[in-house]
Amino acid sequence: MQFFKTLATLVSCISFALAYVAQDVHVSFPSTTGKTSIMIGKIEPKPEVVGAAPTSVTVDSPNEVVQVNFAIDSNDKPFQHTLLVGLPNRNLEMAFEPEIKDHGKLSMYKYMIDLATLDDALLQEAFRSLEPIKATLILASSTAKPKENLFREILQLDLSFHLDHSDSSLVDKFSIKPEIHHVFQTEPKRVAKSIAVIFVAIIMITILALVTTWLNSCAAAFNNIPTGTNALYFLGFIATVVGFEIIFARYYLGTSIFESLFSSLYLGAPGLLMSTKFLRSFGLTI
C-alpha cells in the first residue's frame, strides 16, 4: 500500500515536471508612458488557488498596446503557443502569435495585443455586453498529455474608453432592430378656448352697445315705417339685403361658388327691381 502511494506521488511529480509552465508572466504597456507593468507570476496548467480570478487590466485608450511576456524552458518549447483574446462565451476570439527569443536555457515569449487591431465586432460586443475581454494562453504539444498542456485564462481587459456600440449588425445582421415610430409635425398652436370666448363676448357687448347707442340717441327711431305698396317694396329691399348675407354665409359654410353665383343671380334680379322701386318712391321720406 505504501509502495503504491509512493509510486503515485512519483508519477504526479514527473507529470508536473513535464507540464508546460509559463514563468514570470508579466503585462506591460509599451504605448503608454508612465503606466506600470503588472506581474502575474507563474502560470501552470492547474491554478494554484482554485477559482482564483485572473489579473484584471484597465485599458484607457482604443489605441493602447498590451504586451504579455513570459519565459519557458528552451528544452521544453510547446508546438502550440497561442494567446486567444476575445469573448469566448460569444465565440468571438482572435489568436495572437508570439515573438520568441532564446536566451540560454530560457525562451522569452512576447505577445503584442494592439487594441486598434481588434475586430470591430469583438469591441462592439464587449461594450454592449459590458464583459471584459479575456486573454487565454495555450501552450501545448502533441507529445504531452492533455492535462500537461496549459490552457488558462491569464488576463482580463476592462475597457474604460468610449466606443459607439449601437451597430449590432457586425455581430448579428438579423438581430431584432430598434423600433421606429414616425414623429409627426407638431400641430399649430391654438389659443385657449376660454380666452377666445372672452374676446367673442367683448365683441358682442361692443355691438350691443353700438345698437343701444343708436336706439338711445334716436338715430334708430322706427318712426317712418312704410305702408301700402311701399311696405311691399320695403320687405323686398330688406329681404334682398338679408338674402345676400345668407348667400355669403352659405358660401362660407361650404356651398360651391357656382351655386352661390346662381343664387345671387336669382336674388339679384328681383332684389334690384324691388330695391330701386322702394328707394325711388320712399327715399324722399328718409
Partner 1 sequence: MRNTWSFFFCILLQALLAVGTQSSKTLVLYDQSTEPLEDYSVYLKVLEEKNYKLEYLEINSTSTAVDLYDKEQRLFDNIIIFPTKGGKNLGRQIPVNQLIKFFEDEGNILCMSSPGAVPNTIRLFLNELGIYPSPKGHVLRDYFSSSPDELVVSSDHLLNKHVYNAKESGHFVFGESSAALLENREQIVPILNSPRTSFTEYKGKGNSWTSGSQGFLVVGFQNSNNARLVWIGSSDFLKNKNQDANQEFATELLKWTFKEKSVIKSVHAIHSHADGTSYDEEPYKIKDKVIYSIGFSEWNGERWLPHIADDIQFELKQVDPYYRLTLSPSGNDSETQFYSTGEFVLPDRHGVFTFLTDYRKIGLSSTTDKDVKAIRHLANDEYPRSWEISNSWVYISVVCGVILAWIFFVISFVTTSSVGKELETFKKTN
Residue 209, interface with partner 1 (CB under 8 A)? no
258 binds partner 1 (CB under 8 A): no
Query: DSSP 3-state assignment of 177?
Result: coil
- Binding part of the chain for partner 1, among 75-83, 104-112, 155-163, 261-269 by CB under 8 A, reads 75-83
**Site residues for partner 1, window 106-135 (CB under 8 A)?**
121
Confirm or reject binding of residue 54 to partner 1 (CB under 8 A).
no
Dihedral of CA 159/93/27/32: which sign?
Answer: negative
Which of 204, 261, 269, 273 binds partner 1 (CB under 8 A)? It is: 204
Pairing, β 22-28 against β 65-73:
antiparallel
One-letter identity of residue 221: A
CA-nearest of 175, 85, 94 to 128 is: 175
DSSP 47: -
Q: How many residues bind partner 1 (CB under 8 A)?
A: 73
Closer Cβ to partner 1, 38 or 138, answer by number: 138
Question: CA-CA distance, 120 to 170, in Å (whole number)?
Answer: 7
Determine, following the binding rule CB under 8 A, whether residue 144 of this chain makes contact with partner 1: yes
Main-chain phi, psi angles of 101, to 5 degrees = -130, 135
Q: What is the largest CA-CA distance in the chain?
A: 151
Residue 99 near partner 1 by CB under 8 A: no
272 counts as binding partner 1 under rule CB under 8 A: no
Asked if 95 contacts 139 with a C-beta cutoff of 8 angstroms, the reply is no
Stretch of 65-73, 124-132, 167-175, 260-268 lying at the interface with partner 1 (CB under 8 A): 167-175
Name the residue nearer to partner 1 (CB basis): 57 or 122: 122
Site for partner 1 in 5-34 (CB under 8 A): none
